Amino acid sequence: MASLKLNHIYKVYPNGAKAVNDFCMDIEDKEFIVFVGPSGCGKSTTLRMIAGLEEITAGELMIGDSVVNDVEPMHRDIAMVFQNYALYPHMTVYENMAFGLKLRKMPKEEVDRRVNEAAEILGITEYLQRKPAAMSGGQRQRVALGRAIVREPKVFLLDEPLSNLDAKLRNTMRSEISKLHNKLQTTFVYVTHDQVEAMTMGTRIVVMKDGFVQQIDTPRNLYRYPVNKFVAGFIGTPQMNFYTGKLKAEGDNVRVTFDNTEVNMLAPAEYFAKADVRYLNGEKPVVFGIRLEHVSVDPEKYPYKAKCRVSYVEDLGVDGQVYADFDLNSEDTITESATKVIIKAPENAFYRAGEIIDVSMDLSHLHLFDAETEKTIAPRIPEEAIVYGTVKGGKLSVLGTQLVLPSAISAADGEYEIHIPTAALSFGGNIKAEFVKEEDVNGQRLVQMNAGGKMLFMYADQSSVLTKGVAVDLKQCSFVMDGAEAVSPLPAENELSGKILISKQKKEITAENGAVKKVKQKVYSLEISGKSFVCPEAVGEKIVNCGKKIFNGVLAVRFSPYCVNCGAEGIPAHVTNILDYGNEKFAECTVREITAPRTDKKKKSAEEAEAFIERKIYVAVGSGFNDTEVTLVPELEKVKIYGREQDIRII
């Protein structure tokens, strides 16, 4: 049994196409993880990289406590079940299941024990002497599973194992695989394009699209809290209803209108507490999403009512689905309508095509997405709070409190839109706030506070004492006036150019007989902005091996202002400003980097013969710091290294 860890996994083909982009995930021991998405999204490629059948371009794959990037598939202690079963037609079921064990020279008694135990678990004991041609698709799928079970691997990998079966058999085998997981109590990673399989089998689901992970969460959370329109539409059958429209705040309510329809409803503002306030002005377009179970043909079920015109009804026996259109003047066509609605209807509900009916909606379950990016504008954990404040005489009046601005924030007097990241809020400050409620979000404690009539969402650990005072880390905030950013937050990350250097040094080695000989040994250095730093061999090898595949040697070295020191031997930098935030101080520096040699041979000096770029670097410093020239030493064990051309994280 084992856990898996995928750290910034990439798959880039020689033509530059990225099949998998920055895949990060921790898979716990005994989890049942499902990768789901449309064809070409990268799910099978990721599974094959775990299996060792595809080479990992960049990133680190761990099974248990071991890094297995360069470990052969047969030594990874995994077993894979393929879509096409891959059974030997000339062998019996017993021989197919035993074949891999015999190749490993396992004793006959142990082979027999494992095969019979697996056959008993799968209910195929009576078929052990049959050949695959004499078996049904479901039975052959069981044999393929049995061949994996006898290996007793740490991890099972299943690549769309049910796609060749008919609908009824798929349902049966889906249940059988879930039971098998419960019996074996080991880690399963399962790939499918069928969201019903994903929802019914997985403890957690990875939704992928175009090589990118869209969302990782439990089936329930994916259904209730999709992070974008793609996830919302992909998860759930039939898919969510979508409409374009507008939101407009009106006192304690918000008006909801759907474009090209008569839908116009007033809902409590508390339904939109997590929504980005910039979308509540009645101007920015919004994509609304609502599932069919939250629309009712009973006009009295929910307080928010609308009219729609029936297109047709599907009778499913126990219940039905009414297909209708909020645009009462639309014409039925075979093309998708932007105003259509699918409604769950009770048993024996009957409506004629063209009939105008009254429906009601539960707007507390309304999903909101940006019309352009399709990302949710009301995430389960809001990324930031947008509040309005006034600066006058170096003081900020915001959230019903007046704060003295630190000298690092130079803001002219006036009205500002202030963006406060959720991570910048904490308890124990001067801003008065009242506790509203809290919720558990995948183990994170999210607290809602009311500060001066504005709802703030804050992280808190389980031991935190919820005080009435809220503090804001102003260095993380931005101040916007008339649509332009007047005060920028302190950058969370610096970036400099780098490259890996390899040299050879002679080293004396003493043999067992006492003889001393000299051998050449590779030494790696990481050159950052022209200054070389000794690099651990493992890191150097990783950069070089990855670089051969994906980039031309140019690196981007990124690091936090807290992960760089001023030392005697480092990167020369000129201090241009000291940013004093009160309890913290940062030096704003410029570092000069050579970008390319000039071709103008008339230039005589070395400085004139090169092209330069100046990069701003921010460094956390002590209260007494007042230097103007420094040398910077990044903490190499904490830097992130990317291939600049492809923007692929290597370290």
Give dist(CA 613, CA 451) in Å, integer. Answer: 45
Alpha carbons within 13 A on the beta-carbon side of 382: 24
How far is residue 541's CA from residue 149's CA, in Å, rounded to a whole number? 36
Which pLDDT score is estimated for 307? 92
The model's confidence at residue 600, banded by pLDDT at 50, 70 and 90, is low
State the Cα–Cα distance between residues 166 and 231, nearest whole angstrom: 26
> Is the per-residue pLDDT at 648 higher than 80?
yes
- Give CATH for domain 4-232: 3.40.50.300
Q: What is the residue type of 173?
A: M
Under the banding of pLDDT at 50, 70 and 90, the label for residue 549 is low
Residue pair 198/166 in contact (Cβ under 8 Å)? The answer is: no
**Confidence at residue 325, expressed as pLDDT on a 0 to 100 scale:** 92
Supply the DSSP symbol for 239.
P
Percentage of the chain modeled with pLDDT above 90: 55
pLDDT bucket at 20, cuts 50 / 70 / 90? very high
Domain spans of the chain?
4-232, 238-370, 384-487, 494-649
Q: pLDDT at residue 522 above 90?
A: no
C-alpha distance from residue 398 to each of 392, 394, 402, 426, 631 (Å): 11, 13, 6, 16, 40
Whether residue 546 has pLDDT greater than 80: no
Q: Which two tokens stand for residue 46?
A: 């990721």
Please report, as a single letter, which amino acid is at residue 134: A
Three-state secondary structure readout of 398-444: ECCEEEECCCCCCCCCEEEEEEEEHHHEEEEEEEECEEEEEEEECCE
How far, in whole angstroms, is CA 460 from its chain's centroid? 22
Task: Provide the mean pLDDT of the chain.
Answer: 88
* Cβ–Cβ < 8 Å for 306, 325: no
Residue 159 near residue 44, CB atoms below 8 Å: yes
Per-residue CA distances from 525 to 498, 499, 532, 541 (Å): 10, 8, 6, 11
From the list 12, 5, 79, the residue with the least C-alpha distance to 45 is 12
pLDDT at 334: 52
pLDDT of residue 332: 66
Query: What per-residue confidence (pLDDT) applies to 276?
Result: 94
What pLDDT sits at residue 540?
83
Residue 228 per-residue DSSP state: B
Which CATH superfamily, name and number, covers 238-370? Nucleic acid-binding proteins (2.40.50.140)
Q: Are strands 58-63 and 32-36 parallel, antiparallel or unpaired?
A: unpaired
Is residue 548 over pLDDT 80?
Answer: no
pLDDT at 505: 77
pTM for the model stands at 0.89
Q: Among 55, 38, 546, 544, which Cα is nearest to 46's?
A: 55
pLDDT at residue 544, as a whole number: 80
Query: Rounded CA gap, 495 and 472, in Å?
Result: 26
Count CB atoms within 10 A of the CB of residue 83: 16
Query: For residue range 125-154, what is the model confidence (pLDDT) as tens digits?
Result: 898 999 988 988 888 888 888 888 888 888
